[in-house]
Structure 1
């Protein structure tokens, strides 16, 4: 059977999501705990999006395949639902900076990565001394200059839609940089912190943090609001676009279609995309 796992983690103590020999990673901790609870030699999980070193998650999703009776066997003598009992046992083994929020069986067509319709991230910036809180310094970027959110929203709005985001991505061999940016909006939370909501069908390496770097340049007046769109059109990495720190970025949520649409979505996601030249 296929099992979906929803989890959250504080990325500060990890070398990113993906398992790496000799390094502490989220995937490594999770797979070790799953193998122990399920009483199998090893487990392999697939996640919705591999987060970089230092990036956090509240809504990461992954899946794995197990024997049909694996959850019942792992639940032991628990009188509750097997999936809930297994989630509880996993949280008893996992370190405090990783939590399994839910665990359940899903259709075989479900794939945490290619079935996803979109991923939603948040980037948090404290641009006023009165909003800088030492207790949230691990999740919020402290910025010296006040930001004009109206200018940043104007700049971000010009980036929406399907484009080749090569100018904002670290290229990987054989991987497309075409993405559909669905939302990019800045607003202040109740404490006055500036929060960007960024949602796309998928993101390439460093894309969100590069977009944030371009928008903050517009927000503090160093660049005009139309500058990020110009960078996008150029189609090449620009050294003037900084990749902002990872600790202020959080994967908040991943969206999926209805069960009867999972297969079609996975097939569409696997197709290599390109944008025709105008």
Structure 2
């Protein structure tokens, strides 16, 4: 068998996330379909570094690939990219040792984008639209700062308490940076890994605080598990996997 690392990007709007699902369009499913068409008699296996959710985008998704043949990489990539739907593209492919572990990441960086202009057709698939009236940028930053560091994120995730017995909800967020430029806010999250809906629920609560819908104390108490989960989850369209730094 031969082993490779792919770097792929995608507009997640029209797809039901990374993980292959029956009767649904997913990134993994479309990639496997394209490989099957290009090399119909091949055996292969794919593992994504990050299981992005439905509607979430990626600029730097990493994919571990096992093939039962050694392709001409340049020709292979050209053929697959021609076969893939327009919203998915493979940027690079390189040979790796069998021992390579694609999910063993040093860190991942995600970006969440908020737009105050829903008429910009070049960006509205990649940002969450919010009306600027009554939005307090400083309150957004105030709320986001709460989540930096190591916490039990069970109340800011899609995990059930039963799932948390096998999936560790304790994660460390290394950094959260917030930038504002005209009608666009970009929030950058850096961590070794995230759990399901973690960033979207953090953003949902922080946006709610910026709109005076929830107090800072309520967010803190929810994070410390003194309250139940808050009813806020930011839209998937604003979230993008920006960078994965792997251990080699």
For the criterion TM > 0.5, the same-fold answer is yes
Tell me what 2:6 maps to.
Answer: 5
Residue 92 of structure 1: CA displacement?
1.0
Tell me what 1:154 maps to.
Answer: 142
Secondary structure in 1 matching 2:23: coil
* Higher share in helix: 1
Give yes or no for the alignment of 1:194 onto 2:193: no
Gaps of 5+ in 1: 76-82, 260-278
Residue 2 of structure 1: CA displacement?
1.6
Residue 53 of structure 1: CA displacement?
1.1
Gaps of 5+ in 2: none
- Please list, as runs of the form range in 1=range in 2, the aligned pairs for 1:1-278 lying within 5 A after superposition: 1-67=2-68, 69-71=69-71, 75=72, 83-113=73-103, 115-127=104-116, 129=117, 132-146=119-133, 147-171=135-159, 173=163, 174-189=166-181, 191-234=182-225, 237-238=228-229, 240-257=230-247, 259=248
Q: Distance in 1 between matches of 2:226 and 2:30?
A: 38
Residue 227 of structure 1: CA displacement?
4.1
Q: Distance in 2 between matches of 1:15 and 1:159?
A: 27
Residue 132 of structure 1: CA displacement?
4.7
Change in Cα spacing, 1:237 to 1:185, as seen in structure 2 (3 Å) is farther
Aligned-CA RMSD value:
2.0
CA contact (8 A) 2:56 2:236 kept: yes
* Higher share in strand: 2
CA contact (8 A) 1:56 1:249 kept: yes
CA contact (8 A) 1:116 1:254 kept: yes
| Per-residue CA distance 1:91-148 (angstroms, 9 max, x = gap) | 11111110001011112222222x1122211111113x5x751332211111124433
Residue 50 of structure 1: CA displacement?
1.0
Change in Cα spacing, 1:235 to 1:59, as seen in structure 2 (3 Å) is farther
Normalised by the size of structure 1, how large is the TM-score? 0.80
Higher mean C-alpha deviation, range 223-232 or range 53-62: 223-232
Residue 161 of structure 1: CA displacement?
1.4
Residue 30 of structure 1: CA displacement?
0.3
Q: Distance in 2 between matches of 1:227 and 1:235?
A: 9
